Amino acid sequence: MILPYMRVLQGIAASSGIGIGRAFLYVHEKFVVPHTLIGDMKIESEKVRFQVALSAVAKDLLAMVEDAAKDDHRKILETHLLMLEDPDFFQSVETLITDENLCAEWAVEQVLHGLIERLETAGDPVLRERSADLYDIGWRVIRQMMGKQQVDLSAIHGDAVLIADTLLPSEALMLNPNHIKAIALNGGGRTSHVAILARALQIPTVVGLGKVTEKVHQGDEVIVDGNLGEVAIRPSVASAAKMRDRYDRWIEHERKLHEIVALEAVTKDGHKISLKANIETVEEIDSVLDNGADGIGLFRSEFLFLKPGGATEEEQFVAYKEVLEKLSNIGPVTIRTIDVGGDKVIPGMEGLGEENPILGWRAVRFCLSRKDIFRVQLRALLRASVYGKLKIMFPMISGPEELENVHMVLEQVKEEFRSSNQPFDEEIEVGIMVEVPSAALCADILAPKTDFFSIGTNDLIQYTIAVDRGNEKIAYLYQPFHPGVLRLINMIVKKGHHAGIPVAMCGEMAGDPLSTVLLLGMGIDEFSMSPQSLLEVKHIIRSVSLAEARELVEKVMAMDSCVNINTYVREWMYARFGDFVTA
Ligand code: PEP
Ligand code: MG
């Protein structure tokens, strides 16, 4: 038989490493949900059928929680259980059965679509991808009612590369990393739960490949490069040899990186940098600790609000306390107050259907007009503050009045604590994200009024270049090395230092090894990033001197285009650190 030629597909690198094996092809069976209108006589029995299915799925999930070997696996299953037990979900389905006479499967599908649509129209990719969890749990219930079994992925053995259209979180939990050498998916993004789990399991993964399932045959040899985001199908002998060589070098590179896990991020001329982690969920703490972070530089607290109805004070308190306690011997934890509203729609907290949500009602703007929600969060934070070293950070501050207003609310909540003798840390540092150009431009005014700055490059680049960070059509304009962006960052650092406050960075740029030396030279004091990037960035910091980093900045700041800056920095970094850094 003549096999089709080798193909190399480019996707999104979701979990680093290189995996080689034989394809195990898994495409989800498409089944049609019955859309039957039931008679009034059947309403009660249909509700019972729904309740029985819910109980059966809950029982399965509970058994899986008990068997879960890893903390983060258990937490995801528990999240699913919570979604399943959500009274709003239950009520909405029963209402559709009773009022609209929909059969139970159809009612669940309808409710699910509504919830998923809201999450998927969210501008925040992280929230958008949480719809996979809802989809997962909803379809479990529908499958249960239709008597369809879930495929047992835990039975895959040999050195396999899992090629799938998509992978639900509950399916990812079944994977055995001893047998699954890599994963390649048609859909998904870097921040999906599947990607988080793949990173926790250390399975090299590439997502967002389009139609990889149509290009691979069962049993084909496949090489997945989770660093470059490349998937080679039926590689030629020469390509396979090249990729295997890269694989060997990668393993060696990783081994060396792990040797520095306990060492400080200090330059050759003795300048110390703080390296912290960004997390979205409590379950990521293990990987924060495994990668030697000095603390948490950004906890995106809006994640706790994913379920309908948001998060109660108690639920938030428990989550904040857990993170603070786990980090208490390591370093501070910076928790950002919720960055929702506008396009970041969270079930039960819908906006006003704004025409321009990116410039609309979000983050502190939302919090200042929904003080009920804001004060609950501040209370939970203050209560948790006695369990570790908490720092509070406000997102999307655009100017001094807004800063004054959020401080005022915080002060009122503190006063309530004082008058009722409730303990909290009086020394909590309170800082702001600098991610709106107006805040950057008046950094000199804001700096004396705050304890620290943390530059949010994801939004700062979006607003400075006027380029929607989620729009693929104009993604070419989204340039961290735009001279305008670099000038702003440089200015924020200078103004912050002039006022004597530390300047951190927690946008994606802080974890991009290509930017490390440049940011170091500009004077960033703290880099906060996804835990997986920490060791690479630390290695770079330990390999250069602050003096040469400053020279690089001087050179780059005199350049007149993104292309020139990109080329120059890439060549500089390649000469020093090779292809794993400049990929
Ligand atoms: C940023 O804007 O850089 C940032 C860290 O916040 P988010 O990505 O959550 O908007
Ligand atoms: Mg932001």
pLDDT, residue 71, reads 66
Residue 22 is assigned to a structural domain of this protein: yes
* Residue to substitute in 278, 339, 393, 460 for testing ligand 1 pocket (most ligand atoms within 8 angstroms of CB): 339
Residues 301 and 412 both lie in one domain: yes
As for how many domains the chain has, the answer is 3
Residue 53 is assigned to a structural domain of this protein: yes
Residue 1 is assigned to a structural domain of this protein: no
Nearest residue CA, atom 6 of ligand 1?
Answer: 456
**Ligand (nearest to CA of 125):** 1
Closest CA to 382 of 348, 339, 412, 341: 412
| Residue 278 CA, closest ligand 1 atom number | 5
Name every residue whose Cβ is closer than 8 Å to that of residue 184 and which is 6 or more positions away in sequence.
9, 11, 161, 162, 163, 164, 205, 206, 207, 209, 212, 216, 222, 224, 231
> What is d(CA 62, CA 68) in angstroms, rounded to the nearest whole number?
10
Checking 436-442 for CB contacts under 8 A at 24+ apart, the result is: 436/396, 436/397, 436/398, 436/460, 436/463, 437/463, 437/464, 437/488, 438/398, 438/399, 439/397, 439/398, 439/399, 440/464, 440/488, 440/491, 440/492, 441/488, 441/491, 442/399, 442/400
Among positive and negative, which fits the CA dihedral 568, 518, 226, 465? Answer: negative
Q: Give the pocket of ligand 1 (CB within 6 Å).
A: 298, 300, 339, 435, 456-459, 506-507
In tens, the pLDDT along 379-415 reads 999 999 999 999 999 999 999 999 999 999 999 999 9
Residues 184 and 213 both lie in one domain: yes
pLDDT, residue 179, reads 93
In tens, the pLDDT along 24-72 reads 999 987 778 888 889 888 899 999 999 999 888 888 888 877 776 666 6
CATH number for the domain harbouring residue 13: 3.50.30.10
Residues 156 and 279 both lie in one domain: no
Nearest residue CA, atom 8 of ligand 1?
Answer: 458
Q: Are 537 and 524 in contact (CB under 8 A)?
A: no
CATH number for the domain harbouring residue 393: 3.20.20.60
Which residue among 482, 498, 529 closes a domain?
A: 529
Distances (CA, A) of 418 to 335, 382, 414, 415, 521: 22, 11, 6, 5, 43
What is the three-class DSSP state of 38? coil
Residues 354 and 373 both lie in one domain: yes
Residues 119 and 224 both lie in one domain: no
> What is d(CA 281, CA 570) in angstroms, rounded to the nearest whole number?
33
Residue 187 lies in domain: 7-29+151-239
Which residue among 239, 257, 292 closes a domain?
A: 239
Residue 280 alpha carbon to ligand 2 centre in Å: 13
Residue 547 is assigned to a structural domain of this protein: no
The average confidence (pLDDT) of the chain is 89
Q: Are 400 and 442 in contact (CB under 8 A)?
A: yes
DSSP secondary structure code for residue 37 in this structure = B
**Ligand (nearest to CA of 336):** 1
Q: Please count the residues of the chain.
A: 583
Q: CB count, 10 Å around CB of 408? A: 10
Nearest residue CA, atom 9 of ligand 1?
Answer: 300
pLDDT, residue 69, reads 62
Residues 304 and 343 both lie in one domain: yes
Mean pLDDT of 173-191: 85
In tens, the pLDDT along 511-562 reads 999 999 999 999 999 999 988 889 999 999 999 999 999 999 999 999 999 9
Q: Which two tokens stand for residue 84?
A: 């399943």
pLDDT, residue 115, reads 79
Name every residue whose Cβ is closer than 8 Å to that of residue 65 and which is 6 or more positions away in sequence.
74, 77, 78, 81
Q: Are 221 and 235 in contact (CB under 8 A)?
A: yes
Distances (CA, A) of 377 to 246, 338, 381, 409: 47, 8, 6, 11
Residue 428 alpha carbon to ligand 1 centre in Å: 22
Mean pLDDT of 241-268: 91
Catalytic residue numbers? 193, 506
pLDDT, residue 1, reads 46
**Residue 509 clears pLDDT 60, i.e. is over it:** yes
Residue 577 is assigned to a structural domain of this protein: no
- Residue 297 — pLDDT band, cuts 50, 70, 90? very high
| Residue 302 CA, closest ligand 1 atom number | 9
Q: Which two tokens stand for residue 393?
A: 């950070």
| Residue 508 CA, closest ligand 1 atom number | 3
Nearest residue CA, atom 7 of ligand 1?
Answer: 458
Residue 458 alpha carbon to ligand 2 centre in Å: 6
CATH number for the domain harbouring residue 124: 1.10.274.10
Residues 466 and 413 both lie in one domain: yes
Q: Are 552 and 523 in contact (CB under 8 A)?
A: no
Question: What pTM was computed for the model?
Answer: 0.75
Residues 116 and 77 both lie in one domain: yes
Q: CB count, 10 Å around CB of 288? A: 24
* Residue to substitute in 359, 454, 458, 506 for testing ligand 1 pocket (most ligand atoms within 8 angstroms of CB): 458
| Residue 298 CA, closest ligand 1 atom number | 5
In tens, the pLDDT along 64-91 reads 777 766 666 677 777 778 878 888 888 9
Residues 272 and 390 both lie in one domain: yes
Residue 409 alpha carbon to ligand 2 centre in Å: 21
Residue 397 is assigned to a structural domain of this protein: yes
Nearest residue CA, atom 5 of ligand 1?
Answer: 507
**Residue 121 clears pLDDT 90, i.e. is over it:** no
Residue 246 is assigned to a structural domain of this protein: no
> What is d(CA 133, CA 82) in angstroms, rounded to the nearest whole number?
11
Residues 274 and 360 both lie in one domain: yes
Residue 319 alpha carbon to ligand 1 centre in Å: 21
| Residue 456 CA, closest ligand 1 atom number | 3
Which residue among 146, 177, 198 closes a domain?
A: 146
Residue 206 is assigned to a structural domain of this protein: yes
Residues 59 and 167 both lie in one domain: no
More confident residue, 138 or 432: 432
In tens, the pLDDT along 311-350 reads 899 999 999 999 999 999 999 999 999 998 765 666 555 5
Residues 22 and 117 both lie in one domain: no
pLDDT, residue 201, reads 79
pLDDT, residue 250, reads 84
